[in-house]
Chains A and B, each alone.
Chain A
Amino acid sequence: MYDIIIVGAGPAGMTAAIYGRRAGKSVLVLEAASYGGQIINTPDVENYPSAAHISGFDLATQIYEQAKALGAEFAFEKVTGIEDGDVKTVVTAKNRYEGRTVIIATGSENRKLGVAGEDELVGRGVSYCATCDGAFYRKKTVAVVGGGNTALEDALYLADLAEKVYLIHRRDQFRGDETTVARLRERENVELVLNSRVTGLIAEKKLKAVEVTDKDGNTSQLEVNGLFVAVGRVPENQNFASVIELDGAGYAVAGENCRTRSAGIFVAGDNRVKDVRQLVTATADGAVAATEAIKYLA
């Protein structure tokens, strides 16, 4: 039996672990594969106070080591559900862990396009991270799908590497920054494919082309070596719908105090309803959720 079980070892969950341990509570952190969360994909973090310039992986490692040194336990098992009660049970593929409180800090994952063959082609042409995989497409042809800032910035980043970049967006206006759009329009090797959706992936062991359908229903094919999907993120709350309330987009409904409708179950980080999703707001949630859990235990 643990005082606090934390689901997710990103910045929010690991910060909650630090606060829990410093209050003398027993803490178990559960994570599917490895600590760090989404931030480890970021090569340069420059907006975390006191760390003027650090890689996301190094920052995550420091938080992990701090939590470990304080005595937080970590187990790498995917959590499949939570059962509420006076004692909460956190269920993984292999074990059932009992805790007096639970903090859900699972963050979010990349939204998929939902086109046939997408999963099989990840690593064979389909990618969700331009800064991770862009280097493989030097002097090649790529497409980016999406209309937000991530898609725009990905297209701009790839325009420096690839020979040709298509930016495919289902509307004729972008949600992202005007200045980024303007910079993209200046690039000779960027072609905007607007009012269009990706409706098919053509592959022969690896991606060869994408099928695009415009708003009038006309389809065409674009030959590409790579497709970068930047259509947003999805909170990882699906397994917890029985104990927490989710909004229409799947985010956990909880105020700044991180409390959910189940007493003793809290949410922290990017999977919570909020306006600003940044490292500092994630770690802040971790501190608040742990403090609320400690109050609940008192």
Chain B
Amino acid sequence: MAVIEVNKDNFASEVLSSDKPVVADFYADWCGPCKALRPILEELSGEREDVKFVSVNIDDEDELADEYDVSSIPCVVVFKNGQEAARSIGIKPKDAIEEMVGGA
């Protein structure tokens, strides 16, 4: 699995209606820490078939960033059954992200 880019048109179907937990990475191209975090998420996406990984470009998708009160990036939000279950700001090690996802 890879990290799939999502936008406001498919956010509901890809994230909110997902039957798997979703790790959403809110990022921007100009954000260095976001670039440092991405390989960690990509690695994890290869290990966790039971979790979906998506990314949201906050410059293109400012409505989504606004809706989810993202005001610092990188911001990782874990969604379960369409609800926010956990959130972290900044670069986190792989096991911290796994801990946020929980047993899934």
Contact = CB atoms under 8 A, between A and B. Distances in A.
Contacts of B92: 33
B73 A76 contact: no
A56 B69 CA distance: 27
A32 interface: yes
B75 to A, nearest CB: 6
Interface of A: 32-36, 39-43, 55-57, 60, 76-78, 122-125, 127, 129, 132-133, 135-137, 205-206, 226
B69 A124 contact: yes
14 contacts: A33-B92, A40-B35, A41-B32, A57-B32, A57-B35, A78-B93, A123-B72, A123-B89, A124-B69, A125-B71, A127-B72, A129-B72, A132-B31, A136-B58
Interface residues of B, number: 27
B39 to A, nearest CB: 8
B71 A136 contact: yes
B64 interface: no
A146 to B, nearest CB: 18
Contacts of A226: 71
Closest 3 CB pairs between A and B?
A57-B32, A123-B89, A40-B32
A11 to B, nearest CB: 13
Nearest to B59: A135
B20 interface: no
A226 B70 CA distance: 12
Nearest to B75: A123
Nearest to B72: A123
Given A76-B93, A133-B73, A136-B65, 13 more contacts: A33-B91, A33-B92, A34-B39, A34-B93, A43-B32, A57-B36, A60-B36, A122-B89, A123-B71, A123-B72, A123-B89, A132-B72, A133-B72
A43 B89 CA distance: 19
Contacts of B75: 123
Contacts of A77: 93
Contacts of B71: 123-125, 127, 133, 136-137, 206, 226
Contacts of B102: none
A133 B39 CA distance: 21
Contacts of A122: 72, 89-90
Contacts of B39: 34
Contact of A136 (B40, B70, B87): B70
Contacts of B89: 122-123
B17 to A, nearest CB: 24
Contacts of B35: 40, 57
Contacts of B28: 135
